[in-house]
Amino acid sequence: MIDDLRKRIHVAAGRIDADLVLKNGRIVDVFSEKIIEGDIAIVNGRIGGIGEYSGKEEIDLEGKYVAPGLIDGHVHIESSMVTPGQFSRIIVPHGTTTIIADPHEIANVCGLDGIKYILEESEEISLDVFVMLPSCVPSTPFENSGAKLSAKELEKMINMDRVLGLGELMDYPGVIGGNEEVLQKIKIAGNKIKDGHGPNIEDKELNAYVTSGIKTEHECTTIKEMEDRIRLGMYVLVREGSAARNLEVLVKGITEANSRRILFCTDDRHPEDILNDGHIDNNVRLAIKNGIDPIAAIKMASLNGAECYRLYDRGAIAPGYMADLIVMDNIEEFKVEKVFKRGKLVAKNGKALFNVKPKECSKIMNRVNLKEVNKDMLKIKLSSPIVNVMRLLPHSLVTQKVVRKVDTQGHYFRYNHMLDILKLVVVERHKATGNVALGLVENFNLKEGAIASTVAHDSHNLIAVGDNDEDILLAIEELGKIGGGITICSKGNILKTLPLPIGGLISDKTLEEVSVQLKEMLKIAYNMGVNKDIDPFMTLAFLALPVIPELKLTDLGLFDVTKFDFIDISVNN
């Protein structure tokens, strides 16, 4: 290390040539928020100096812009449905060189083995993957997951390399109420970062949440929520995912005064959205399009994220910083042409210049364990035709709790294809308990069929939606046979299935292959009438998450997130 430091000092002082010099660049200085013209000297993967330098290898940038590599402050790799290695192949060409991953999806299925898989699979790839230990496995006591991670379990990994702290504390009632187990998890994180997940908390309850040591929030959907949290010292991660797209609303509340507490994240982003629109570079472009100064937007995507997560060796172009760099023609359009990771060219013109080798993952395969489900178990018995229904909102993870009148036959729910009310089913799939929960959903618009998935945040039980029991049952049986995935059925036929053999969440194929299959399935779904204001697969996956308002369905029943308790489907006055 001393030799590396000495060499970098000599390069910076101009005594010896750098390993690589990027010459004639227009450097985005995120500290002064200015453009600086000059060379960037790189030695042993770090920046030696900025100015006029010579190197053993020189690349003339011909006046192009150079910015720091981008940072995704909060992402679930599993939502891409590919391995960390395959994920890196697709996001690095978009300029993302560092991510903060919360592997609570795979942890809910496989426990510590799932976290270890993410860490091991992301070793020695051209993307730095840091991990926040999942704090809520399961996310609440109101569901069954494949694993349960106590504070004692998390303590085994909290000091491992690349573990930055405690992941999103979704059990915000537990935090605010001083629950012993939750507080023990906060305690074992010590002075490390603690991520938040507290939608709609305000006033004294928000103070209670923040005083516990939670420093970040990615669930803001309004400017007021964002301002309230910044005022209390939190960082706000402005999210632009597949199902939840909050940037264009929140960006209107970003000012010069509060921008240093803003960073970007994707949270959950599907393969096709990454391929079509990009990753964190998409956040930057949208911010610029909505009036944010380009350099300020770049700063939010780089330096702010680095400082929030205490990664003080990256996020800027300055002596001693990691040589994680992106090159582009102009910063307004923000189209990444080249990506350097630790001074090595790793992507060019949207293509990765590296390959990845999959790691052994037998411990987290074959994780679908269903008890037999029959048609009688799918019947919804009602004491009243007036019922609680989950209403979907466009491009949102939030659902509305609405009351509707439905048709019945012999005190059971009867489908009425004149109404847009479908049956929602959650089947426990980890321990073959036989739990089958039933609910009703509006605004999905699926006709003559069913969609089922073993991706159902966060406990990832099997979830299905449909307008007839025959297709729902067929979809459930199909996923049991293949060991997990996503399937669409119609009129007694399986139309298309995407297998996800790794934990029932992740494919063993490339992201491009997964994207092709998903694109075909999306086309099928929309042709079956699915509401085009929603992503059917991502939306379905979040209808089982009992920490995002207002109404959700777990394997234990219909859950009112506002009351934080189970409710009946029937409304009895």
The domain limits of the chain are 69-312, 365-566
Q: How many CB atoms lie within 10 A of CB 93?
A: 24
357/405: higher pLDDT? 405
Per residue in 431-487, pLDDT (tens digit) is 999 999 999 999 999 999 999 999 999 899 999 999 999 999 999 999 999 999 999
pLDDT digits (tens, 9 = 90+) for 177-225: 999 999 999 999 999 999 999 988 999 999 999 999 999 999 999 999 9
**How confident is the model over 273-290, as pLDDT tens digits?**
899 999 999 999 999 999
Which residues, 6+ apart, have CB-to-CB distance to 177 below 8 Å? none
Q: Which strand (E) or helix (H) includes residue 281?
A: helix 280-289
Q: What is the pLDDT of residues 377-416, one digit of tens each?
A: 999 999 999 999 999 998 788 899 999 999 999 999 999 9
- Report the candidate in 309, 293, 286, 280 with the shortest Cα–Cα distance to residue 192: 309
CATH 2.102.10.10 fits 69-312, yes or no: no
Which pairing describes strands 557-560 and 70-75: parallel, antiparallel, or unpaired?
unpaired
Task: Provide mean pLDDT across the span 347-363.
Answer: 90
| Omega of the bond leading into 134 within 30 degrees of 0 (cis) | no
Question: Residue 457 burial by CB count (10 A; 0-12/13-18/19+): exposed, middle or buried?
Answer: buried
- How would DSSP label each residue in 222-261? SHHHHHHHHHTT-EEEEEB-SS-B-HHHHGGG--TTTGGG
pLDDT of residue 278: 96
CA atoms within 13 A on the CB side of 281: 30
| Whether residue 366 has pLDDT greater than 90 | no
Q: Which tens digits make up the pLDDT trace of 23-49? A: 999 999 999 999 999 999 999 999 999
pLDDT at 389: 98
Q: How many beta carbons lie within 10 A of that of residue 250, not counting itself?
A: 23
Average model confidence (pLDDT) across the chain: 95
Instruction: Please write the tens of the pLDDT for every residue from 211-264.
Output: 999 999 999 999 999 999 999 999 999 999 887 889 999 999 999 999 999 999
- Global pTM reads 0.90
Model confidence at 547, pLDDT cuts 50, 70, 90, reads confident
What pLDDT, on the 0 to 100 scale, is given for residue 573? 64
pLDDT at 102: 97
CA 336, CA 97: separation in Å to the nearest integer? 12
The mean pLDDT value for 160-172 works out to: 94
Query: 287-334, pLDDT tens digit by residue?
Result: 999 999 999 999 999 999 999 999 999 999 999 999 999 999 999 999
The pLDDT value recorded for residue 201 is 93
